[in-house]
Structure 1
Amino acid sequence: MVPGTASAKQEPDAAAIERAVSAYAGRAAYPGIAVTITKGSQVLYAGGYGHDSAGAAVTATTPMPAASVSKSFTALAVMQLVEAGKVTLESPVRDYLPDFRIADPRGAQITVRQLLDQTSGITDSTLPEKSLPQPDSLAGAATRARSATLAVEPGTRHFYTNTNYHLAARLVEVVAGEPFTDYLRRHVFEPIGMGATTTINQTPRDLPRDVRKGHVYAYGASIPAVEPKRFVNGSDGVISTASDMAKWLIVQSNAGLAANGTRLVSATSIASMHTSSDPRWTYGMGWDTDRKGRVNHSGIWFTYTADTLLLPDGYGIAVIGNSGIGLANEGISPLADELATLVTGGEPSTGAPVRLIVDLTLAGLTLLSLLLGIRNLRRARIWADRFATRPPWRLALRLLPRLTPLALLVVLPDLLGRIVGGGRDITFIQLCYYSIALVSWTAVAAVLNASVLTARIVALSRPRPARDAPATNTSPQLAAS
């Protein structure tokens, strides 16, 4: 890792940062991590740890997906149009996208602000954007949204969904009269010197060649994997580097003014994006806030995770790791928190390798399910002999629970989306990325229990030999008696 140029008084200890990142990477199983730390208009630190999936070292110039941190770029692009007098936040989206229609008539009420603060009423349940066919462009994403309904009245509740930001990015390119990718390049990236940053439409098709595969995790191993097919522009399509993300952090911490003197938006717009407009939720526009007054946004792919964090005292932190969201790993945000503690004079906490512990536990459950399943298969005839005389309804009560693991396997994507993802949509393939160990255990249990059920039914249906009648004693003495 290479520290940036800053005064000795401001610069965090590089060795301490390396230790914190290395320790986190070890226990959270991240092969490579890019890190940058800023304060005010200065870059205090930019560098990389570990390696990519091809074995090359991760550095400050390694391109990696910023995932949903991309939403902050989309929000700023909209705010530029607001400041130019071309868009009004409280106006209906339909004023700028005449073709915008959804299956719910209340969609006509959705405003530009409601897209940005995620209160349009569209949710992953009313438009399952990952399960539906993936569009090729923002225009296609807007067309796909026509099948959406609303969970609530627009502006009444916060529901996080990528669809809102697909629509916001489409609004930018229609109002600006140029593709969203070109708009960001000309009006955001190039003016502040983010020359290595771009945004894409669809994964993995549009990924730049120098972006390596990320990783999924299973049983202690990080496995290189291609990101599944998803439409990401506007919501989570930005590809950047640690060095470029430092320039983005400076804009956010410096009231819209870049280190090179370029102003992207006004201080008022920055404050609006960082602040919720309603006390019922904490999300502003492309940024969230926490109880400590910190401004942040995380980013999640199935093979990468990212986080940006702005502290009240002027520090900015961005981290990107080349391993995806998974069970016991909901992102790389804990590392950003540890670095925040470090740069403000505290001592980062250490913890157990929870990801490994969870997967090893699931491995044990998988092995136990396998052994019990084999045992029950071998004893199917014994079981049938024991229970053959029971009434059919009692047999059914004993057998039907064997279908529970199969039912769980079928509903697992929806169940995990609701319990862990807060109602987010996820496909079965994406679930396999999320936790190979969980899917393996559920699948093994489902197959073996279904096999035991079948074996017991077959054993019950086979004819049983008649029981021998009691032997009759025909000795002469007994007969005489």
Structure 2
Amino acid sequence: MTRRIRWAAAAIAAVTLAVFAAPASAQTQDTAVAHLREELAGGPPSSYALVSADGTVTTGAVGSDVTPQSPFLLGSLSKSFTATAVMQLVEAGKVGLDTPITAYLPWFRTAGENNPITVRQLLNQTSGLPTEAGTVDLYEPETTLEQRVRALADVVPVSRPGATFHYCNKNYATLGLMVEQVSGQSYADYLKAHVLAPLGMHRTFTNLADARREGLIEGSSVLFGLNVPMETPDFPGARPDGYLVSTAEDLSHYLTFQMTGAYRGARPLSAESLRLMHSAAVPTGEDHAIDGIDHYGFGWGTGTLNGQPVVQHDGDLTRYHANLGYLPDRHVGLVVLTSRNPVLLDNGAPFHHTLAMLAGVPAPEIGNGFLLTYGIIDGVALLVLIAMVLATRRQLRRARKLPELLRDKGFRRVAVRPLIGHLVAAAALYAAVFVGVGMLSYGGWLPVDVAFQTLPDFTVLVLAGMAFLAVRGVVWFALASSRTRRPAARPSRPAQTPPARAVGDAHPVR
């Protein structure tokens, strides 16, 4: 073929691909959104936004009085905003990525050898700080940002700085405090002026009071399958690592900026800084803090999905869950915000399934994980209740024989030993759950109120079991004590009858 014919053929092929490929892409996105809505239906109030690099944005919401403009707490999605602020200061020459954090916070220190920790290591979560150091104060909203960072003086790192990835909220709390020190502004004021305003994120909030005035969707917990609304306290000291508030619509602006480098002409960061933030900086190894990634860096996780690169992060609070991510090769991104976060469920499933569909994975079947999970929990609760009833009936039957038991075995064996045994069992149950489980997952003793916020069903069952054991032992002891103190009834004396008289003893008749 001549060059002209070849150019004509190429043009025809390009037009053909454009005509057929574009509708296919749009159809895929429409199918993905339909699937997302179906997965979110029947769940907690939620909102979402699907963003294409060409500027097309599809937003929606599920639940009464919920819109794409409704605010939700973001959890750890806040970390990427903190990383953006840090990179702005790096571009301005005010912060060095490989400079020790003590150059900006001279008093900063950890326990142990106290090796220097750099800004880059904090961004990459390779400071050596353990995960538990970042969760120990998450239920102490009165703690300030500086107090949280100063508390690291008592924390022994679990690895040398730069050696290993350990997801720790305090890394980003420290960076947030550094932003304040370097900029001379509060974290909230800096973020509003340099990140939120340029991106038109006017319904993104740095405190819950403002968010509530603008219609914050209150989070909820699940108790034996029932939705229980609970108000979340504000935690100003945790804004840089978990307490920003935003909407699906505002996050579509943020996602557009992350994907394309700009939003309506605004460029808060250079393309080079964005490339660095979205690069696979360090492997996460066995730390599975974020689903669907294998590397982390600068407030973002990276990995592959159906053979394609993916950049994403999730956010977890007691009563909120958030996901945000995009597929660079497909030029499409997704954000999903929900107002319920039961520990026993895969709360990110709607997001991950939809993002996988956008990557070309067939739509998965929509299961009934909620009903199955809480059906099991309710079944266990019913069995525990039945066991308590049967044990109580058995004790009532045994109480009828209490006098004989006390006479045959004595007060100590019948009453004192069971009381001690029941109280020890209740204490052991408390220790196993609120101390043992707390040490494994929380890094310290787990307060009952915190346990109730995270696992209310399980906590109620444990407390009910403890109360039953203690009350059963005390009641039995009191009953035995009352039987022991009761004076023994005196045997009734038989009525005396006059002795029979002999015939000769009869009175003479007068």
Normalising by structure 2, what TM-score? 0.76
Q: What are the residue-to-residue correspondences of 1:79-98 with 2, within 5 Å?
A: 79-98=87-106
Question: Which position in structure 2 is the counterpart of 1:429?
Answer: 449
What's the CA shift string for 1:56-85, capped at 9, x where partnerless? 1x2221122222111011111111111222
Deviation at 1:171, TM superposition (A): 0.5
Matched, 1:185 2:185: no
Residue 416 of structure 1, CA deviation: 4.8
Distance of 1:287 and 1:215 partners within structure 2 = 27
Q: 1:345 to 1:128 in 2, by over 3 A?
A: closer
Which residue matches 2:320?
304
Mapping 1:401-412, distance limit 5 Å:
403-404=424-425, 406-412=427-433
Which residues in structure 2 correspond to 1:33-432 (within 5 Å)? 33-51=46-64, 56=65, 58-102=66-110, 104-107=111-114, 109-126=116-133, 128-130=135-137, 133-135=140-142, 137-200=144-207, 207-210=211-214, 211-228=216-233, 230=235, 231-254=237-260, 257-279=261-283, 281=285, 282-292=295-305, 293-313=309-329, 314-323=331-340, 325-331=341-347, 333-380=348-395, 382=398, 400=421, 403-404=424-425, 406-413=427-434, 415-416=436-437, 427-432=447-452
Report the AA paired with residue 334 of structure 1: A
User: Any conservation in 2 of the 1:192–1:247 contact (CA below 8 Å)?
Assistant: yes
Cα distance between partner residues in 2 of 1:436 and 1:111: 40
Q: Distance in 2 between matches of 1:418 and 1:36?
A: 38
SS at match of 2:319: coil
Code of the residue aligned with 2:218 in structure 1: it is K
Match of 2:11 in 1: none
Closer, same or farther in 2 for the Cα pair 1:401/1:90, shift >3 Å?
Answer: farther
Partner deviation per Cα, 1:300-353 (whole Å, 9 max, x = no partner): 121211001222422211110111x2232253x211112113334443212432
Deviation at 1:222, TM superposition (A): 2.0
Q: What do residues 203-233 of structure 1 show as CA deviations (whole Å, max 9, x unaligned)?
A: x566442213121112332222111454421
Distance 2:226 2:32 in 1: 25
Percent of residue pairs bearing the same amino acid type: 26
CA gap of 1:126–1:327, structure 2 versus 1, over 3 A, is: closer
Contact 2:75 2:322 in 1 (8 A): yes
Whole-Å Cα distance in 2 between the matches of residues 214 and 398 of structure 1? 42
CA distance, structure 1, for counterparts of residue 217 and residue 284 of structure 2: 40
1:449 and 2:464 matched: no
Structure 2 residue runs of 5 or longer lacking an equivalent are: 1-21, 286-294, 489-510
Q: Which has the larger radius of gyration?
A: 2
Provide the C-alpha distance between the structure 2 equivalents of 1:19 and 1:359, rounded to a whole number of angstroms: 26
Matched residue of 2:221: which SS? strand
**Secondary structure at the residue paired with 1:172?**
helix
* 2:185 counterpart SS class: coil
With normalisation by structure 1, the TM-score equals 0.80
User: Quick one: structure 1 residues 423 and 16, their matched pair in 2 at CA, closer, same or farther if it must change by over 3 Å?
Assistant: farther
What does the per-residue CA deviation read over 1:11-34, in whole Å, with 9 as the maximum and x for residues that have no partner? 3567634542333224xx533211
How many residues are matched?
A: 443
Distance 2:139 2:387 in 1: 38
**CA distance in 1 between partners of 2:72 and 2:445 (Å):** 24
Specify whether residues 263 and 106 from structure 1 end up closer, same or farther in structure 2 by C-alpha distance, changes over 3 A only. farther
More helix per residue: 1 or 2? Answer: 2
Task: Give how far 1:192 is off.
Answer: 2.0
Of residues 422-431 and 80-89 in structure 1, the stretch that sits farther from structure 2 once superposed is 422-431
The 3-state SS of whatever aligns with 2:296 is: coil
RMSD, aligned CA: 3.4
Where does residue 503 of structure 2 map in the other structure?
A: none
1:368 Cα shift?
Answer: 2.1
Distance in 1 (CA, whole Å) between partners of 2:138 and 2:254 is 32
C-alpha contact 2:422 2:472 (8 A) present in aligned 1: no
Question: What SS does the aligned partner of 1:11 have?
Answer: helix
Amino acid across the alignment from 1:258: A
Deviations 1:35-65 (A, max 9, x none): 11122242331221223xxxx1x22211222
Deviation of residue 266 (structure 1)?
2.7
Residues 25, 425 of structure 1: alpha-carbon distance in 2 compared, 3 angstrom cutoff? farther
In the alignment, which residue of structure 1 is the partner of 2:494?
A: none
Supply the AA of the counterpart residue of 2:370: R
SS at 2:141's partner residue?
coil
| Cα shift at 1:376 | 1.8
Once residues 86 and 80 of structure 2 are traced to their aligned partners in structure 1, the CA distance between those partners, rounded to angstroms, is 10
The C-alpha deviation readout for 1:187-213, integer Å capped at 9, x for no partner, is: 11111222222323xxx5664422131
Contact 1:406 1:443 in 2 (8 A): no
Which residue type is aligned with residue 365 of structure 2? T
In the alignment, is the contact (CA less than 8 A) between 2:44 and 2:63 conserved in 1? yes
Residue 448 to residue 398, structure 1, CA distance change in 2 (3 Å): closer
- d(CA) in 1 for partners of 2:372, 2:420: 33
Instruction: Mark the CA change 1:414 to 1:106 in structure 2 (over 3 Å): closer, same or farther.
Output: same
Matches of 2:146 and 2:27, distance apart in 1? 45
- Whether the 8 Å CA contact 1:129–1:425 is kept in 2: the answer is no
- Which residue type is aligned with residue 83 of structure 2? A
Decide which moves more: 141-150 or 397-406.
397-406
How far the C-alpha of 1:90 sits from its partner, in A, is 1.7
- State the alpha-carbon separation in 1 of the partners of residues 447 and 258 from structure 2: 35
Q: 1:223 to 1:397 in 2, by over 3 A?
A: closer
Change (3 A) 1:216 1:399: same
